[in-house]
Amino acid sequence: MKTTLEIPDSVFRRAKSVAAERGIALREFVTEAVKEKLSADAKSAEKPWISHLGKLKHLKRETRRINKRIEEDSERIDPEMWR
């Protein structure tokens, strides 16, 4: 199928350059790139949770602080209070 795409000049020049370095036509390079992107999207759709990995990493220090506080407070509990 023939179509027209509008892409930024810098992206076009880079794609054309890389295609030439690989010794393939720009059409083939773009086709491969689109196939790779579609494949990657399909794989991430199989495991949607993967895109969320590591997003709570910034809370690691806060979790340690809270756990330490709980531990300290637990040591102060009067055993008689639990009877």
pLDDT at 33: 95
What six digits make up the tokens of 25? Answer: 């036509």
List the chain domain ranges.
9-78
Q: Is the pTM of this model over 0.85?
A: no
* CA dist., res. 14 & res. 21, Å (int): 10
Closest CA to 27 of 55, 47, 46, 5: 5
pLDDT at 72: 85
pLDDT at 71: 87
pLDDT at 40: 82
Which stretches of the chain score pLDDT less than 50?
Answer: none
